[in-house]
Chains A and B, each alone.
Chain A
Amino acid sequence: EAGVTQSPTHLIKTRGQQATLRCSPISGHTSVYWYQQALGLGLQFLLWYDEGEERNRGNFPPRFSGRQFPNYSSELNVNALELEDSALYLCASSLVAIAEAFFGQGTRLTVV
């Protein structure tokens, strides 16, 4: 069974541009979580989608947004990129509320 897949693996953008990151959850998982991990820091919660709806978001500005599609895959969009947005962006999926979350390998976003 395929795990959580994220694309692209690496992404280089210039300041002010927009970035789109994609995540495909494990088949049958309806919840998708997005996290940002800046170099040397812990994971910061970004967004949580479940059954196509945004359920919660972390303490990030509105230029971080996303959506979940009917097939439960998800996109994270970051507008007006800033240098500080350079980080590893991780996506995770889970099946039910108390189930473990499985993570993808992340997208390394570099803003120059």
Chain B
Amino acid sequence: DAKTTQPTSMDCAEGRAANLPCNHSTISGNEYVYWYRQIHSQGPQYIIHGLKNNETNEMASLIITEDRKSSTLILPHATLRDTAVYYCIVRGVAGNNRKLIWGLGTSLAVNP
């Protein structure tokens, strides 16, 4: 299973964009990049996923580098409610690669 590397923690001012990086240098061609977040003691919440093109939804944007070895999750206008642990995960589409392997994530603190 591909592994991901994320900074342990980050700070962001309320109203500013939060850019959360993730390295996944061993990702294989059929593995997707998923982002989830977990607000304290709640179940993780799906944010976005992508294969190689940039993706955007109502919550965030996902920028994947051309070589697919890293990606950045962008929260365009962070609010206090975005304070959470953000997990970057790579996941395959078949067999055992379908399970999600979680790292320790990035603890994002949005400050007023």
Contact = CB atoms under 8 A, between A and B. Distances in A.
Nearest to A88: B41
B104 interface: yes
Contacts, number: 58
B43 A97 contact: no
Q: Which of A43, A97, A102 has the most CB of B within 10 A?
A: A43
A: contact size bracket = 20 to 34
A45 B44 contact: no
A1 interface: no
B101 interface: yes
Q: How large is the interface on B (under 10, 10 to 19, 20 to 34, 35 or more residues)?
A: 20 to 34
B104 A33 contact: no
Given A98-B93, A100-B49, A31 B98 contact: yes
B43 A42 contact: no
A56 B92 CA distance: 14
Contacts of A97: 93-94, 98
Contact of A55 (B34, B36, B87, B96): B96
Interface string B80-112: 000000010001011010111111110000000
A56 B91 CA distance: 14
